[in-house]
Structure 1
Amino acid sequence: MLDSYKTVERQGSAEIVIRKSRFIGHARPVRTEDEALRFIAEIKKEHSAATHNCSAYVIGERDEWQKQSDDGEPSGTAGKPILEVIKNQGLKDVAVVVTRYFGGILLGAGGLIRAYTDGAVAGLAAAGPVLQVLHRDVYLEIDYTWLGKVEHELRMRGTRLGETLFADKVTLHCQPVASAAEAFAAWLTDITSGQGLVSLGTEHYVAQEIPVGKGLAD
């Protein structure tokens, strides 16, 4: 699994108007080709009266699955620019559809490429770009006498925490980044002088907002 990757948080859409043609960019996170194809089909059904619904998607840790469609526009003027936006922004597991309602003015090949590029950028921005960071669950079971010290140490370290369970003993659910989980577990053992019971859990991704001012390709 990747330590981190960029994608979008949710389904979103945004509209731009270029020389009287309406271009609506739609984007959504997807994990499989079937999911991407269903999303594209949904948009085509919703905008069945549109002149074109052009699309592209990139899926997989190594971008193993990529596909684009011009949906009737001149070859290379729609699907390819949408795909290039996804790739240039460094996104994975995302599908984009740009819907066009023709406004009566021909744009030419260069104009179409720019319009579909801008439509894809708008749709992706509306879908909320995020960084998915791989974390691992680490559980610490301790006596109540250790709770104050451990919570202080965790706050100082800035550790991401899940739910704390209170029973005969206290179980803290910590979520360090996966690459540091084993070292983190050793640190927990050290600060509790070996009196805490530490166990490693599963890995999972946690979405983090991309800081304002950072480009998706940064």
Structure 2
Amino acid sequence: MRMIREAGSHALEIRRSRFVCTLARAHGEAEAAAFLAGHRKAHRDATHNCTAYVLGGHGEITKSSDDGEPAGTAGIPMLEVLVRRGLTDTVAVVTRHFGGVKLGAGGLVRAYGRAVAGAIDAVGLVELRPVVTVTVAVEHALAGRFLGDLHARGPLPSDVRYGAGVEADVPVPAPGLEEFEAWAAEVTAGRARVRRGAAGHVEVPIED
């Protein structure tokens, strides 16, 4: 599952019309609608504010709007870019200021698609990978070696707590749970106490 790395905008000019694509994350239709309503209000002087979004764990919720452009020339090409990139929980709005030269249906399709693709390239992507938080508890005498070996091996702990002993919360990729637990036992000579916790996701940047 992929998402944009961060919110952001990207602009391009085509035959004197200016297209600015703004991307944002949204978890659910209410959040997407609120973002789009706020954007339209802030850019109500624009000729068009065309929109598209993909939501849900499997990208099963999609919606697009041409906002006055000829049917099928704006929202659908924008949506197709989001789907083709495999994104979810992502909202796109392209704000157009008309420059006086008509682009034709084909030109509009290309322009809106390019605007979204350019914005995605500009902000970058992350992949959401399933993890389980594993809490490893060790004695103080073992903590230095364990944490040092953990930093060398990975994954890095999300939290370390010091009390009667030392506890480290480690987000472990779901497919590697048993391997990690075996490693923790080996590096501490069987003296670590390991407990599986909540399942979730971590964001891993996707490099081109």
Q: TM-score, normalised by structure 2?
A: 0.93
- One-letter amino acid of the counterpart of residue 137, structure 2: E
2:19 matched to 1:13?
no
Partner of residue 116, structure 1: 112
The alignment partner of 1:56 has SS state of: strand
Q: Give the Cα–Cα distance (whole angstroms) in 2 for the partners of residues 69 and 14 of structure 1.
A: 19
Alignment of 1:80-99 (within 5 A): 80-99=76-95
Q: Give the Cα–Cα distance (whole angstroms) in 2 for the partners of residues 42 and 124 of structure 1.
A: 21
- One-letter amino acid of the counterpart of residue 159, structure 1: P
The size of the alignment, in residue pairs, is: 208
The alignment partner of 1:109 has SS state of: helix
User: How far apart are residue 130 of structure 1 and its match?
Assistant: 1.6
Partner of residue 169, structure 1: 165
Partner of residue 104, structure 1: 100
Out of 152-161 and 166-175, give the one that drifted further: 152-161
Q: Give the Cα–Cα distance (whole angstroms) in 2 for the partners of residues 74 and 29 of structure 1.
A: 27
- One-letter amino acid of the counterpart of residue 58, structure 1: V
Contact persistence 1:25–1:97 (CA under 8 A): yes
2:31 matched to 1:35?
yes
Q: Give the Cα–Cα distance (whole angstroms) in 2 for the partners of residues 39 and 128 of structure 1.
A: 20
Paired residue for 2:71, among 53, 72, 75?
75
Out of 35-44 and 126-135, give the one that drifted further: 126-135
Task: Rate the CA distance shift 1:199–1:11 in 2: closer, same or farther, 3 A.
Answer: same
The alignment partner of 1:175 has SS state of: strand
User: For each residue in 1:54-74, what CA deviation from the matched residue of structure 2 results, as whole angstroms up to 9, or x when unmatched?
Assistant: 111111122211111111111
Unaligned 5+ residue runs, structure 1?
Answer: none
Q: Give the Cα–Cα distance (whole angstroms) in 2 for the partners of residues 26 and 126 of structure 1.
A: 11
Unaligned 5+ residue runs, structure 2?
Answer: none
Taking only the aligned residue pairs, the percentage that are identical comes to 38
Q: Give the Cα–Cα distance (whole angstroms) in 1 for the partners of residues 42 and 176 of structure 2.
A: 45
Q: Give the Cα–Cα distance (whole angstroms) in 2 for the partners of residues 164 and 46 of structure 1.
A: 43
User: How far apart are residue 185 of structure 1 and its match?
Assistant: 2.4
Partner of residue 179, structure 1: 175
User: How far apart are residue 51 of structure 1 and its match?
Assistant: 0.8
User: How far apart are residue 188 of structure 1 and its match?
Assistant: 1.7
Partner of residue 128, structure 1: 124
Q: Give the Cα–Cα distance (whole angstroms) in 2 for the partners of residues 112 and 84 of structure 1.
A: 14
Partner of residue 201, structure 2: 205
2:122 matched to 1:137?
no
Contact persistence 1:133–1:206 (CA under 8 A): yes
Out of 88-97 and 128-137, give the one that drifted further: 128-137
Q: Give the Cα–Cα distance (whole angstroms) in 2 for the partners of residues 75 and 120 of structure 1.
A: 18
2:43 matched to 1:47?
yes
RMSD, aligned α-carbons? 1.6
Q: Give the Cα–Cα distance (whole angstroms) in 1 for the partners of residues 152 and 122 of structure 2.
A: 35
Q: Which runs of 4+ in 1 moved over 4 A?
A: none
